[in-house]
Amino acid sequence: MGRDKAELIVAGERLADHAARVLQTVCDPVLEIGPGRSDLETVGDDEPSAGPLAALVTGAGALRTRGYEGAVLLLAVDLPFVDARLLELLVDHPADDSVVPVAGGMRQSCCARYAPAALTTATDLVEQGERAMHALLSAVPVVEITEPEWRAVAPADALADLDTPEDLARHDVDDR
């Protein structure tokens, strides 16, 4: 998009603050991986332009150094309509495997819960030079949350992301 998405304002709230707020309602600890746009504890991204798979690995590693060994919930900053109810659905899902919602026929890998075994696989993939989230989802067991399942707790646009100026216009985002 050519600008810092974390600074976009949707419904009066910066995307960085929105993500921090909804994550803190369902998770503890919560870390921001990146340059420190929110009030969360920040962990510098080992490879800032490497994408969400590398960021997931960085975050999982930071959590392990703090003694946390469980599943990790990943939420990308460009998902302004995700709310706590959707995140609770992922966090509380009884599956031991990774849990990923599906919207428009596509797995939403940047709003998903990753099992500890998946985090190990993610680390291996990044060490091999892989950068695509779909590579991780293809390599680990995944429980898909169907659209009717997640729509029972979240609005239809909950997983709409903001990647282009057209997305901003479609969702009536104030991008000043």
Q: What share of the chain is helix, strand, coil (3-state, %, to 5)?
A: 40, 20, 45
pLDDT of residue 176: 53
Q: What is the mean pLDDT of each run of 10 residues along the chain (176 residues)?
A: 74 93 96 93 84 95 95 96 97 98 97 98 96 97 98 94 70 61
Quote the pLDDT of residue 4: 76
Top CATH class, 5-163: alpha beta
Burial class (CB in 10 A: 0-12, 13-18, 19+), 138: exposed
pTM of the model: 0.92
Core vs surface per residue 49-86: b (16+ CB within 10 A) or e: ebbbbbbbbbbbebbeeeeeeebbbbbbbbbbbbbbbb
